[in-house]
């Protein structure tokens, strides 16, 4: 399997971290990558134009309406009554408040253009997906970027689902790129921006803490991240800091049919177990002299295996990093995650063709969803073991 790894994922002969993006000097986008970008963009935009997406799109638009009418504090305290489909339902606001301004901008675009919010939102996530592909190219290889851009799961999440995870992934990849180009201050800025879109990158703090090479770099990363986070978050805390912090830090996703979340006892202990395991893994990878990218990818895949709460769009987090673990892992994860998402969206949509994937209405076929979820989770679990074993084998070979 190690022969499938791109050079950027390997350790050099001295056992030091593999070459990073900063060592590359080529800037021209290869023709085959341009073709992949065009195909991926076309597929995403077709989905964005012809469908509504999932309930998440409706939630975001309802958040904007609630905040505009009653204020940010009321949104976090009371949640938002849905503006369509389920007007009796109330969605809790669990996203950082900094995302409200961009969402209001998308609502403004709908108002002036008459092009619906759900298209504008997924146009933004499509652009983020394409930008992520370019960062995968810079961090790994053109082959890895092409695989990622054409991955059906990545296309479905960016072009159909309608959540901010593709944005977080794009900013996170830019953050890693800045760190590996020896720009820790800019990396910290980008990390704070990513956490201001969604808070989930916080579990990657151990990876950045040990992945950065010097204490000076760590200090610059932390200072710049804290400063930007304060600018983006503190002004909103004057409205209702208790409600905002409670919603942000208290949300753990849904359980249901995903992995260990099916065990009632594990749900109670899953959060500390997951974070402790990630910290231990990062220490292990640091000893094995893994690169920052490898630490981040390994942390994400372990999180997806151990998390007591899960939403299907979380799969977007791992897809750009799969190639670090070899083409076999990439193929397995891409295949099972794509099948799982296709089945879930079809189930939520009540069949084909997709338009509005309504997760609030039960449909027939939940057994197939459960089987596909189990297959996807098992693949990720095996891939996690493979990634750790591969790091061990590469490190031993270096010595």
Across the range 354-372, mean pLDDT stands at 90
pLDDT at 3 over 60: no
Return the residue matching tokens 């459960």.
370
Q: Whose CA is closest to 6, among 178, 135, 173, 137? A: 137
146-189 pLDDT per residue, tens = 999 999 999 999 999 999 999 999 999 999 999 999 999 999 99
pLDDT at 5 > cutoff 50: no
User: What six digits make up the tokens of 175?
Assistant: 């953050």
pLDDT band at 394 (very low <50, low <70, confident <90, very high): low
Identify the CA nearest to 125 among candidates 60, 214, 185. 60
Q: Choose between 386 and 284: higher pLDDT.
A: 284
Radius of gyration of the chain (CA): 21
| Helix/strand/coil percentages in the chain, nearest 5 | 75, 5, 20
**pLDDT per position as a tens digit, 46-90:** 999 999 999 999 999 999 999 999 999 999 999 999 999 999 999
φ, ψ of residue 81 to 5 degrees: the values are -70, 135
Least confident of 124-138, 207-221, 260-274: 260-274
pLDDT digits over 205-248, tens only? Answer: 999 999 999 999 999 999 999 999 999 988 888 767 888 888 88
Q: Among candidates 382, 330, 297, 319, which has minimal Cα distance to 156?
A: 319
Residue with the two structure tokens 């069949």: 351
Element (H, E) at 81: strand 80-81
Instruction: Quote the DSSP letter at residue 17.
Output: P
Residue carrying structure tokens 């050099």 = 12
> Distance between the two ends of the chain, CA-based, in angstroms?
19
Q: Is the pLDDT of residue 28 over 70?
A: yes
Question: Which of 333, 390, 312 is CA-nearest to residue 156?
Answer: 312
Structure tokens at 274: 């997951």
With 70 as the cut, is the pLDDT of residue 12 above it? no
User: Which residues have a Cβ under 8 Å from the Cβ of 166 and sit 6 or more positions away?
Assistant: 125, 126, 128, 129, 132, 157, 158, 316
Mean pLDDT of 274-278: 97
């Amino acid at each position: 399997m190690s022969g499938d790894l791109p050079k950027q994922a390997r350790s050099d002969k001295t056992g030091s971290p593999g070459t990073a993006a900063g060592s590359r000097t080529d800037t021209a986008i290869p023709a085959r990558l341009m073709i992949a970008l065009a195909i991926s963009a076309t597929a995403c935009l077709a989905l964005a134009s012809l469908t509504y997406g999932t309930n998440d799109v409706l939630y975001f638009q309802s958040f904007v309406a609630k905040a505009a009418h009653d204020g940010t504090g009321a949104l976090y305290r009371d949640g938002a009554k849905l503006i369509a489909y389920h007007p009796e339902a109330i969605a809790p606001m669990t996203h950082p408040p900094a995302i409200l301004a961009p969402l209001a901008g998308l609502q403004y675009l709908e108002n002036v253009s008459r092009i619906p919010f759900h298209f504008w939102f997924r146009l933004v996530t499509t652009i983020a997906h394409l930008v992520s592909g370019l960062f995968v190219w810079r961090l790994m290889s053109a082959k890895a970027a092409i695989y990622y851009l054409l991955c059906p799961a990545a296309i479905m999440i960016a072009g159909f689902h309608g959540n901010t995870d593709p944005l977080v992934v794009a900013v996170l990849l830019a953050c890693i790129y800045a760190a590996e180009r020896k720009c820790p201050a800019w990396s910290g800025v980008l990390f704070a921006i990513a956490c201001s879109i969604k808070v989930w990158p916080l579990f990657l703090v151990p990876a950045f803490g040990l992945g950065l090479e010097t204490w000076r770099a760590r200090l610059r990363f932390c200072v710049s991240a804290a400063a930007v986070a304060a600018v983006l978050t503190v002004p909103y805390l004057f409205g209702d800091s208790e409600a905002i912090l409670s919603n942000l830090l208290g949300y753990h996703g849904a359980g249901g049919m995903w992995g260990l979340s099916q065990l009632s006892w594990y749900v109670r202990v899953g959060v500390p177990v997951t974070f402790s395991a990630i910290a231990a893994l990062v220490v292990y990878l640091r000893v094995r002299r893994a690169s920052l990218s490898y630490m981040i990818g390994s942390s994400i895949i372990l999180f997806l295996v151990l998390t007591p709460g899960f939403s299907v769009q979380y799969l977007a987090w791992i897809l750009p990093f799969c190639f670090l673990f070899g083409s076999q892992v990439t193929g397995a994860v891409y295949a099972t995650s794509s099948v799982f998402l296709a089945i879930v969206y079809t189930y939520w949509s009540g069949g084909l063709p997709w338009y509005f994937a309504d997760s609030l209405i039960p449909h027939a076929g939940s057994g197939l969803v459960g089987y596909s979820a189990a297959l996807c989770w098992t693949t990720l679990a095996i891939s996690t073991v493979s990634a750790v074993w591969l790091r061990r084998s590469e490190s031993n070979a270096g010595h």
